[in-house]
Amino acid sequence: MATSRFAVIAGAGAGTGAALARRFAQKYPVFLLARSSASYDTTVEEIKSTGGQAYGVPADISSAQGVKMAFEEIEQKVGKDASCAVALFNASARPAWKPFLDLTEEDFDASYAISGKGAFHFSQATIPLLLRAAKQDQSEHPPTLIFTGATAALRGSANLAAFAPAKFAGRALAQSLAREFGPQGVHVAHVIVDGIIDLPGSKELLKDAGPNAKLDPNAIADSYWYLHSQPPSAFTQELDLRPHSEKW
Amino acid sequence: MATSRFAVIAGAGAGTGAALARRFAQKYPVFLLARSSASYDTTVEEIKSTGGQAYGVPADISSAQGVKMAFEEIEQKVGKDASCAVALFNASARPAWKPFLDLTEEDFDASYAISGKGAFHFSQATIPLLLRAAKQDQSEHPPTLIFTGATAALRGSANLAAFAPAKFAGRALAQSLAREFGPQGVHVAHVIVDGIIDLPGSKELLKDAGPNAKLDPNAIADSYWYLHSQPPSAFTQELDLRPHSEKW
Amino acid sequence: MATSRFAVIAGAGAGTGAALARRFAQKYPVFLLARSSASYDTTVEEIKSTGGQAYGVPADISSAQGVKMAFEEIEQKVGKDASCAVALFNASARPAWKPFLDLTEEDFDASYAISGKGAFHFSQATIPLLLRAAKQDQSEHPPTLIFTGATAALRGSANLAAFAPAKFAGRALAQSLAREFGPQGVHVAHVIVDGIIDLPGSKELLKDAGPNAKLDPNAIADSYWYLHSQPPSAFTQELDLRPHSEKW
Amino acid sequence: MATSRFAVIAGAGAGTGAALARRFAQKYPVFLLARSSASYDTTVEEIKSTGGQAYGVPADISSAQGVKMAFEEIEQKVGKDASCAVALFNASARPAWKPFLDLTEEDFDASYAISGKGAFHFSQATIPLLLRAAKQDQSEHPPTLIFTGATAALRGSANLAAFAPAKFAGRALAQSLAREFGPQGVHVAHVIVDGIIDLPGSKELLKDAGPNAKLDPNAIADSYWYLHSQPPSAFTQELDLRPHSEKW
């Protein structure tokens, strides 16, 4: 592979993940991480067919070993000296909407395994590669680590007592890393995605709410790209994204 | 044991935990949970010697099994029909102040095991007993579940990337439970303790900062008691506590 | 007047203001400020009839001159050397619930005149008297300045574009003063009152919501008193108060 | 003037204001409002010399009459049916850094006159023109109203008790308008500018802090442009901008 900088996306399934992959593949070779190759195969093919470079890497992001193996596979492709331009942590467990007393320890762990532990492992794997980029050619966009958050990263809710703690944890991690690695030239940001994402699976939701009542995944991806393009003199640490008609 | 309502404190070691135990023992039999009996033995004796009822229960709060065993021990003392007046989650891992790339998975897990999972297990064990109290005599103070938070529950910091996510998680849990169980009569609150606590171990800190530059554990305990005493028409969900001279 | 410390309440009308006056009159002579004496006459009589000291002072809190005249009148009663134990800023304009384009400049000014300018004038008048108390006998409760906030101090809302800015401003003032005067021994706090207050005028609201669905003014007053009673080692800067069944 | 959409900037002086004007003049005729023409003359000339359309309008933004006159002057240029593509409220009083008891009523009013009242008047003048744009050709960027905020919009500080309330008020206004006019297709956003802006007047500040320790006004302008370019399916209501090395 000729290029020295790559992008990596955890949670690169359908929807936002695929849109992020397509967007960042316009400039970088993109590695798509997901538990199952079914999540990313179509996107990888689509990117390749339009002239981009994309690689699927099956990975259990919640385990140190799983993340280690994935990045070894990436290293084999990009070489030992490659650096990371963009790392996007877009993985998330599915919220367990349940009364608190019905939640099992497994429910609680499942959210945390991704948004807490997974985010931690992914950050530990990518930050050294982002720091490497920060020490190189300053004419490039600053290396960027972005976490996908949710409304549940800002407020707890009844019946959301497993999901909200994990999303809060991810936001705290993003803030901590921004404060530590910003001065070293790595841009760390957190995006609050607040609303329903417009996907085949959400077709029936908000049907009568008029146009633009759901978040277009490509618009989300454009905002991530914008964050990546910000120069070090004016980094955004957090922004929200929601449909214009969303109540909040 | 004659009384039908008890208080239980996780993290009932020296400092705030001991002060909470003494304060709530003025009205309720108090169960002190800590990993090691060395943490609570002195406090238990002190309470007994002044006419209160106190019981130490060794417990690994981070494990479902550990919490289960502790509450079985409590049930043996209070009987199957006793209800819980007050449950205080005051346990916390020691913050691992380390550059992010020096953090181990164990560091990250250690914070979460207490402030995340421990808080979850403790809440699942106590909420049924708090709900039982809520259905009884309304002349008593509303049953109350309070979590001890920290500045790190509000903002991430460089070198605090293991601790902050766990404390954020605890705050999210408190908010979620307040929204779910407030309408059922259980008062769930979260206290941001922001500052150095005045303990033998913190004697050398802020020595020249004048009086009241550190948090008196008894003053903290008074605020927890005050929260417990609030009627259902005016519950506080969150308050901060800091020395008058603290910068923040 | 024999006592050297007094309490003063701006916005001492019916409801919360009256409850605050009754509560603080249990320890201090209380001055009740309101635009019209009709707002406080009953409360003043009630306090006197139960052995307390209460004085009504008509005041236009939104004008520097109005506040100056009111505090001259207070000084005539308490003497030149008296100090202030408690200053409560409970005044508020009535929210103008209107579409933004229907708001007049007068609407916008009316909110700000109280929650912004009024709070500023009241603080400038009381802080010197609170600082005087802070330099005296440390066995007393720390002198305390409390602002009554609202949900609109935390978030803007459609149709609330005149009221929310003014309430935000009051919260900013409280934070600024807490940071400046806490180190000098004055306790400055801000209370988010979130919900409907249980008053004759709100009888028809939430009629079917069960008991305790509205805020009892006396419970609010108890929380203000509790803030006043906190020692300098553990001040609360902000707390929220809402009925247990409130959605938020 | 041939075009039907224009941009208007209040606070179009040197620094951020000028950068905003240059940036938006790449697409729209831009009206620059400032109290004195000295603030914008150079920028207007610069834009014209590079082929853009720019017009200076002297305006006292703090008065209803001043804003009215300015928009009448704009209407004479753009015609009665023109609509507004972008309205930027970038005006701000200079912070009065003073101990609270040294603040005069004039200090307090001066902050509010701009960030409170000025923002109100500007919004009332521009929203009808933005709504007009929202009803037209949907292929254009959604009409956008952006407020420049500051750290003082998020937290009060000692010695900043006049400035912070005004900046909080501006943030509340932005939130209220976003919730009211987002559903009608107008994008309302608030930008927290946190750090020192790199200007001739700030040359001596942070001299030894390395490159990019101050905010580049052009980078700020790019972020405002980005906000304007967001489609209605994914609006950002608030973002922060700070130099990568800023402590916060």
- Considering only CB atoms, C176 lies closest to which of D116, D117, D161, namely D161
Instruction: Decide if pLDDT at C111 tops 90.
Output: yes
Residue count (chain A):
248
Q: CB-side exposure of B11: number of CA atoms within 13 Å?
A: 22
Residue B1 has a pLDDT of 46
Q: Which pLDDT belongs to residue C5?
A: 95
A94 to chain D, closest Cα gap in Å: 22
Residue D2's pLDDT is 43
In a domain, C49, yes or no: yes
Among B107, B157, B173, B176, pick the best mutation site for testing chain A contact (most A Cβ within 10 A). Answer: B176
Q: What would the pLDDT profile of A18-64 be if each residue is shown by its tens digit?
A: 999 999 999 999 999 999 999 999 999 999 999 999 999 999 999 99
What are the pLDDT digits (tens) for C156-211?
Answer: 999 999 999 999 999 999 999 999 999 999 999 999 999 999 999 999 999 989 89
d(CA D101, CA B55): 53
Those residues with Cβ within 8 angstroms of residue D143's Cβ, 6 or more apart along the chain or in another chain: D83, D84, D85, D86, D130, D131, D133, D134, D185, D186, D187
Count Cβ–Cβ pairs < 8 Å, chain C vs chain D: 147
Confidence of residue C139 (pLDDT cuts 50, 70, 90): confident
Residue D229: inside a domain, yes or no?
yes
Q: Which is more confident, D2 or B146?
A: B146
Identify whether B248 is part of a domain: no
Mean pLDDT of the residues in chain C = 95
Has residue B174 been placed in a domain? yes
Residue D44: name the closest of D30, D34, D60 by CA: D30
Q: What are phi and psi of A192, to 5 degrees?
A: -85, 105
Q: What is the structure's pLDDT at B89?
A: 98
CB pair distance less than 8 Å for C241 and B245: no
Kindly tell me if the per-residue pLDDT of A171 is higher than 70: yes
| pLDDT at position D138 | 79
- Minimal CA separation from D207 to chain A, in Å: 14
Strand intervals (E) in chain D: 5-10, 30-34, 54-58, 83-89, 144-150, 187-193, 238-241
Highest mean pLDDT among A85-89, A197-201, B138-142: A85-89
Q: From first to last of the 248 residues of chain D, give the pLDDT tens digit.
A: 445 899 999 999 879 999 999 999 999 999 999 999 999 999 999 999 999 999 999 999 999 999 999 999 999 999 999 999 999 999 998 898 999 999 999 999 999 999 999 999 999 999 999 999 999 987 899 999 999 999 999 999 999 999 999 999 999 999 999 999 999 999 999 999 999 999 999 999 999 898 999 999 999 999 999 999 999 999 999 999 999 999 99
DSSP-assigned letters across all residues of D187-231: EEEEEEE-S-B--GGGTTTTTTS-TT-SB-HHHHHHHHHHHHH--
Query: What CATH number is given to the structural domain containing C229?
Result: 3.40.50.720
pLDDT one-digit tens code per residue, A104-124: 999 999 999 999 999 999 999
Say if CB A158 and CB B188 are below 8 A apart: no
**DSSP codes of every residue in chain A:** ---SEEEEEES-STTHHHHHHHHHTTTS-EEEEESSHHHHHHHHHHHHHTT--EEEEE--TTSHHHHHHHHHHHHHHH-TT-EEEEEEE---PPP----GGG--HHHHHHHHIIIIIIHHHHHHHHHHHHHHHHTS-TTSPPPEEEEEEEGGGT---TT-TTHHHHHHHHHHHHHHHHHHHGGGT-EEEEEEE-S-B--GGGTTTTTTS-TT-SB-HHHHHHHHHHHHH--TTSB--EEEEB-TT---
Give the Cα separation of D55 and D33 in Å (integer). Answer: 9
Subunits next to C (3 or more Cβ pairs <8 Å) are: B, D
Contacts of residue C197, Cβ cutoff 8 Å, sequence gap at least 6? C15, C16, C214, C215, C217, C220
Residue A170 has pLDDT above 80, yes or no: yes
Q: Please indicate if any CB of chain C lies within 8 Å of the CB of B219.
A: yes
Q: What is the pLDDT of residue C197?
A: 96
Tokens of A7: 């992008």
Chain C: residue whose CA lies nearest to B240:
C236
Tell me how close the Cα of D242 comes to any Cα of chain C, in angstroms.
21
Q: How many residues does chain C have?
A: 248
B87 domain-assigned? yes
In chain A, which residues have their Cβ closer than 8 Å to the Cβ of D240?
236-239
- Decide if A172 and B177 are in contact by the 8 Å CB cutoff: no
Q: What pLDDT score was predicted for residue D1?
A: 46
Q: Which domain holds residue C35?
A: 5-241
Amino acid at C19: A
Phi, psi angles (nearest 5°) of residue A94:
-75, 130
Give the pLDDT confidence score for residue B14 in this predicted structure: 79
**CB atoms B167 and A172 under 8 Å:** yes
Contacts of C133 in chain B (CB under 8 A): none
**pLDDT digit string (tens) for C76-99?**
999 999 999 999 999 998 898 999
Over 50: is that where the pLDDT of C128 sits? yes
| N- to C-terminal Cα separation, chain A | 46
Query: What tokens were used for A238?
Result: 């957090």
Percent of chain C with pLDDT over 70: 99
Backbone phi and psi for residue C33, each to the nearest 5 degrees, phi listed first: -105, 130
Q: Specify the pLDDT at position C1.
A: 46
Residue B2: pLDDT over 50: no
Does B169 contact A at CB distance below 8 Å? yes
Residue C246 lies in a domain: no
- Tell me what ipTM this predicted complex has: 0.96
- D166 vs C169: CB contact, 8 Å cut-off? yes
D141 neighbourhood in chain A, CB within 8 Å: none
Q: What average pLDDT does range B198-212 have in this prediction?
A: 92
Neighbouring chains to A with at least 3 Cβ pairs closer than 8 Å: B, D
Most distant CA atoms of chain B, gap in Å: 54
* C100 interface with B at CB cutoff 8 Å: no
Given the structure tokens 């500023």, which residue do they identify? Answer: C120
Binary contact (B156, A179; C-beta < 8 A): yes
Judged by a CB distance cut-off of 8 A, whether residue B93 touches chain A is: no
Chains sharing 3 or more CB pairs under 8 A with chain B: A, C
Q: Would the CB atoms of B245 and C211 count as touching at under 8 Å?
A: no
pLDDT of residue B4: 81
Tally the domains of chain D: 1
Has residue A39 been placed in a domain?
yes
- Nearest-5° Cα angle at A46, A45 to A52: 90
Please compute the mean of the pLDDT values over residues B126-154 and round it to a whole number. 95
Chain B residues close to C178, C-beta within 8 Å: none
* pLDDT, chain B, mean: 95
- Per the CB < 8 Å rule, is A223 touching D242? no
DSSP calls for B148-209: EEEGGGT---TT-TTHHHHHHHHHHHHHHHHHHHGGGT-EEEEEEE-S-B--GGGTTTTTTS
pLDDT grade for B73, boundaries at 50, 70 and 90 = very high
CB contact residues (below 8 A), chain B span 121-160, against chain C: 142
The answer to the question of residue D246 being in a domain is no
Q: Tens digits of per-residue pLDDT, B3-41?
A: 589 999 999 987 999 999 999 999 999 999 999 999 999
Kindly state whether B185 is in contact with chain C, defined as any CB-CB distance less than 8 angstroms. yes
Q: For residue A194, give how far its alpha carbon lies from the nearest alpha carbon of chain D (Å).
A: 9
| Any B CB within 8 A of C182 CB | yes
pLDDT at A1: 46
